[in-house]
Amino acid sequence: MTSPALVLPVLRPECASGDYILLWWSLVALTVIAVGMLTRPADWLLLATIVVGAFDAVRWILSTGNIAALELLLTGAGVALLRSGREGLFVLAIGSAAFLKWIPVAFTLLVVPVAGAARGVRALAAVLAVVAVLNVVYLIAMPDLFVGYWSFIAGALHSFFRTEAVYGAEAHPSLLSLLMDASSAVFGRSWPGVPLYAAASGYLAFDLMRVTWRSPDRAGLLPLWGLGLLAMMPRVKPYGFGIAVVPLYIAARLLPANRQALLIVLSCLVPLAGSFIYDHTGVAAAAYGQLYGLAGAYAVVRASAPTAPAVRDILQGGE
């Protein structure tokens, strides 16, 4: 059991009753309902389309019966809560999601464009505190499973880069895996992909800060940060892309109809096409369809990001 066994008392009754798939579909449906209620006025059709179709993540969650279904609900609700100004509840939701999977910790940085770097640091500390408290409860309630879980995690971290080099997109279609695969194909060894990844993610982080500094509407940059942060993650499993669907929905609501349609095509159809090609041909490059879809969605949202004129242009009388 690689997910914290503390969630078993919540999930076991439904799974034992034979309603396993119903429970997972219910968590996805609850994500739609919670996000819609927290981001009024809701566009229910758009929201359902993106949650079910974007990045092919929900299909992976349902086909594997993965705990990421609960992560999807908690992270999605958290992002929607932050968008509606409820920072405390956002921290609680993201902290609970991070207890299940570590990637949501990065989403704490969504506070930065909304409220500034200082508040972002405090939110990060609070999220880590929530994770720590849940782990203490886990240790007290299930000490043997707690030790087994963290022993597994420690072993996985020890072989982090080796796992990326061996499995690549088959298990982790992340930017790091893509560049390590490309490096292996070009140079015959995967390690040059690591500095390339550092450079690419560093540039992406710089671009996020640059557009944030120039934006007159920092709260409107929340979806861009959500997509960018996921793109920078060194390890993302196919179902992990699910945590970007709510930022994607928030972004889609702010776009004109033509760009909204383009966003849906890129985030929903590109990953599905990549998965189909990989399943039927085995072409490794196609296995990164989710990452391609994420990159395309980021590009569309980035092109639509509101920016104020640079200080130099203002001084020179530019518009």
Query: Is position 256 within any domain?
Result: yes
Kindly report, residue by residue over 68-115, the tens digit of the pLDDT: 899 999 999 999 999 988 999 999 999 999 999 889 999 999 999 988
Q: Is 116 left (phi over 0), alpha (psi -120 to 50) or beta?
A: left
For position 313, what pLDDT does the model report?
41
Query: Is position 178 within any domain?
Result: yes
Query: Is position 67 within any domain?
Result: yes
For residues 45 and 78, the answer to whether their CB atoms sit within 8 Å is no
Residue 312 binned pLDDT confidence (cut-offs 50, 70, 90): very low
Residue 319 binned pLDDT confidence (cut-offs 50, 70, 90): very low
What is the mean predicted confidence (pLDDT) over 163-171? 71
For position 297, what pLDDT does the model report?
95
For residues 137 and 3, the answer to whether their CB atoms sit within 8 Å is no
DSSP assignment string, 155-206? HHHHTHHHHHHHHGGGT--SHHHHHHHHHHHHHS-STTHHHHHHHHHHHHHH
Mean pLDDT of the chain: 87
Q: Which long-range CB contacts under 8 A does 84-92 form with residues at least 24 apart?
A: 84/38, 84/39, 87/111, 87/115, 87/119, 87/123, 90/123, 91/123, 91/126, 91/127, 91/130, 92/130
Kindly report, residue by residue over 281-297, the tens digit of the pLDDT: 988 889 999 999 999 99
Tell me how many domains the chain contains: 1
Query: Is position 316 within any domain?
Result: no
For position 9, what pLDDT does the model report?
75
Q: Is the pLDDT of residue 52 over 70?
A: yes
Residue 63 binned pLDDT confidence (cut-offs 50, 70, 90): confident
Kindly report, residue by residue over 25-44, the tens digit of the pLDDT: 888 999 999 999 999 889 99
Query: Is position 318 within any domain?
Result: no
For position 13, what pLDDT does the model report?
66
Report which residue type is found at 317. Answer: G
Residue 62 binned pLDDT confidence (cut-offs 50, 70, 90): confident
Residue indicated by tokens 């995690």: 153
For position 16, what pLDDT does the model report?
64
Percent above pLDDT 70 for the chain: 89
Query: Is position 199 within any domain?
Result: yes
For position 150, what pLDDT does the model report?
85
Kindly report, residue by residue over 181-226, the tens digit of the pLDDT: 899 889 888 889 999 999 999 999 999 999 988 887 777 899 999 9
Residue 317 binned pLDDT confidence (cut-offs 50, 70, 90): very low
Residue 17 binned pLDDT confidence (cut-offs 50, 70, 90): low
Query: Is position 315 within any domain?
Result: no
For position 114, what pLDDT does the model report?
87
| Token couple for 125 | 């500390």
Q: Half-sphere exposure of 269 toward its Cβ, with a 13 Å CA cutoff?
A: 6
Please give the model's pTM, rounded to 2 decimal places: 0.88
Kindly report, residue by residue over 119-161, the tens digit of the pLDDT: 999 999 999 999 999 999 999 999 998 898 888 777 776 677 6
Range of the domain at 53: 5-307
How many Å apart are CA 89 and CA 186, to the nearest integer? 47
Query: Is position 313 within any domain?
Result: no
For residues 206 and 232, the answer to whether their CB atoms sit within 8 Å is no
